[in-house]
A = this chain, B = another copy of it.
Amino acid sequence: MQLTRSLVRASRISPDKTALIFHDRRWTWHEHASRVARLAGALRTLGVGPGDRVAILAHSSDRFIESVFAILWAGGVLVPLNARATPGDIAGMLDDCDAAVLLVGADFLPLLPTLRAGAQKLRHVIALDDGATPTGTIPYADLITSSDETPRAETGGDDLAAIFYTGGTTGPAKGVMLSHANLYANALHGIAQFGGHDERTVYLHSGPLYHLAAGSRVFTTTILGATHVVIPRFTVEGVLDAIKTHRVTMTAMVPTMLAMILSHPAFEHADLSSLSFLVYGGSPMPEALIVEAMRRLPHVRFGQGYGMTELSPACTYLEPRHHSLDPALRHRLRSVGRPAMGVDIRILDEAGHDRPTGEVGEIAVAGPIVMQGYWKRPDATREVLRDGVMHTGDLGYLDRDGFLYIVDRLKDMIVTGGEKVFCIEVEDVMRKHPAVALCAVVGRPHPIWGEAVHGVVVPRPGASVTADEIVAHCRAHLAGYKVPRSIEFRTAMPLSGANKILKTVLRAT
């Protein structure tokens, strides 16, 4: 199993079909494969050999995807860097993985002095975008035109394919090591379990490619031989425009992105007629939001993936057929679906024993999508990965039909007056208030209760609502100790690179 073979396959059987669209650039599979093989030749000339780490620091683009495959084609290991991290953190990641080469987008060129100072093994910097090429950087376009196609490396299977850094918002980032087999299994699971996708799919990369939730779909799309559509970063207008312009059939979003789209004034006039499939995941989906999405996008099939970077990233799938508003089945919308094919999910108590069906415990995952470990962090690896089982730190239960329900992240639970409050339950109620566009619940330190429930709300455009109204709404639907003690209104949420709400920021401010 070699991830680059899927590119060879697509270019052999569909050479003239559009592979990749970014703004006004379009590449056929033949052109795309040729450019990848030439960029890989250039990387080899720069000294990249088997297993060498090559980093990318950029917003999404066609060149990001070319770079992904060129690094693997040369036999290297891909390291996409979180563009939202601080320059110091990014330098730390570069240094941690001993990256020899960095491909850097135009927006990040000003960080180069900091990065070079912090990552002294960095030998070459490639300026990914046209335009400025500061001293000491190599222009990407020149590399491709001046290089010959190089033979494809035979790396694959359990060979390391990528290091994705994770956890930067809650502690020092750890490099998640994923093999070719990991990423291939994840792609095949998604294709098999969602169904209905093939080379006719036009896939919009809505999220940042350096995040695995989006980045993993680069492989899915190429394995399908479908068409990649790339936008530099998520904006509501950018997504709506790309769907209309390129007749996009499929995209993926975190719930926050979906909420932003549904509550945006442009949604009402958008042409989403081509869209047939929407995948969501990356953070818990409020039931009210998915129901609203199903009602307002009745021609779209929905699928959910749940997981984490350490799981390549998906370990469960909620399939389109499980998105039902039938009262007897609707509860499944609160689940994250069933284990991926070939993946075993157990619910463990604190001693590591299996909990009975329906009872809450830590979610533990085994299967071909489990990471190889954290790069150079054997202790951190041992903490979560034992005998091939990934201990996720998430709490949940399995029902009698094998559906997994996430109760909460272990770390995203509030303990107030000795009572446990699962943030997602409160958020789900808050979101049902008609004036609420986005919301989040966090614990704030409290001298008496330990923590107090604190709600943060971004109102819908034009809506008017008071804190008392939100609290009264919550009181009507929740036990008293779960009702927020304080409500804060914001015009926008602090979002991570993956467009997840940054609870660390909400807790701190």
Contacts and interface: CB of A to CB of B under 8 A. Distances in A.
A307 B195 CA distance: 23
A402 to B, nearest CB: 2
A192 interface: yes
Given A6-B341, A181-B157, A12 B188 contact: no
Contacts of A5: 342-344, 366-367
A367 B157 CA distance: 10
B13 A338 contact: yes
Contact of A342 (B1, B154, B398): B1
Contact of A192 (B158, B188, B388): B188
A398 B12 contact: yes
Interface string A321-354: 1000000000000000011011111100000000
A224 B367 CA distance: 15
A91 interface: no
Contact of A195 (B195, B223, B343): B195
A184 B189 CA distance: 11
Nearest to A1: B368
Interface string A189-209: 101100110100000000000
A198 B341 CA distance: 10
Contacts of A368: 1, 157, 184
A24 interface: no
A116 interface: no
Nearest to A154: B388
Nearest to A200: B321
A244 B380 CA distance: 55
Interface in A378-406: 387-388, 398, 401-402
Nearest to A354: B12
Given A14-B402, A188-B192, A342 B157 contact: no
A223 B341 contact: yes
Nearest to A369: B1
Interface in A1-18: 1-2, 5-6, 8-9, 12-14
Interface of A is mostly: mixed
A438 interface: no
A346 B12 contact: yes
A9 B341 CA distance: 8
A185 interface: yes
Interface string A344-379: 111000000000000000000011100000000000
Given A1-B181, A181-B1, A9 B157 contact: no
A120 to B, nearest CB: 37
A15 to B, nearest CB: 9
A347 to B, nearest CB: 10
Contacts of A224: 341
A185 B157 CA distance: 11
A188 B341 contact: yes
Nearest to A16: B400
Interface string A390-427: 00000000100110000000000000000000000000
14 contacts: A6-B341, A9-B339, A9-B341, A9-B344, A9-B345, A12-B344, A13-B339, A13-B398, A14-B402, A157-B368, A188-B341, A191-B192, A191-B341, A195-B196
Which 3 A/B pairs are nearest by Cβ-Cβ distance? A13-B402, A1-B368, A192-B192
Given A185-B188, A223-B341, 6 more contacts: A1-B181, A1-B342, A5-B342, A5-B367, A12-B344, A184-B368
